[in-house]
Amino acid sequence: AQSVTQLGSHVSVSEGALVLLRCNYSSSVPPYLFWYVQYPNQGLQLLLKYTSAATLVKGINGFEAEFKKSETSFHLTKPSAHMSDAAEYFCAVSDPHTGANSKLTFGKGITLSVRP
């Protein structure tokens, strides 16, 4: 069975500082990995996805994530935080090899606050 661990529930950074949100996964096969963002009172939006091509994936709003098989990690980074990045972020994993019964498994989410 696949799973995702997002350690901690809240990260606070200063505007202009590096953003690092951690995600570790467990999967018995090469997975697909995703990061989603949720702004207040909205649904989730896809930030970026890893689907077994390049290990460094670039997404929207200047975010990127690197798939590291040896560390079973898919951490999300952004070089310089902006106030508009304040939101909740979810990591998710899926197994593309088991067909119709495979679906995304989401982490618990982590809230990012950005201080002026």
Partner 1 sequence: NAGVTQTPKFQVLKTGQSMTLQCAQDMNHNSMYWYRQDPGMGLRLIYYSASEGTTDKGEVPNGYNVSRLNKREFSLRLESAAPSQTSVYFCASSPFSWQPQHFGDGTRLSIL
CB of 58 to partner 1, least distance (A): 15
Interface residues toward partner 1, by CB under 8 A: 9, 32, 34, 41-46, 49, 90, 94-96, 98-104, 106-109
Residue number, 73 or 102, with CB nearest to partner 1: 102
Q: Which pair of tokens denotes residue 59?
A: 């997404």
Minimum gap (Å) between residue 99 Cβ and partner 1 = 8
The three-point CA angle 82-8-109 to 5° equals: 65
Is the Cβ of residue 13 or residue 93 nearer to partner 1 in the bound state? 93
> Least Å distance between CB 102 and partner 1?
4
Q: Which is nearer to partner 1, 85 or 95 (CB)?
A: 95
Pick 81 or 93: Cβ nearer partner 1: 93
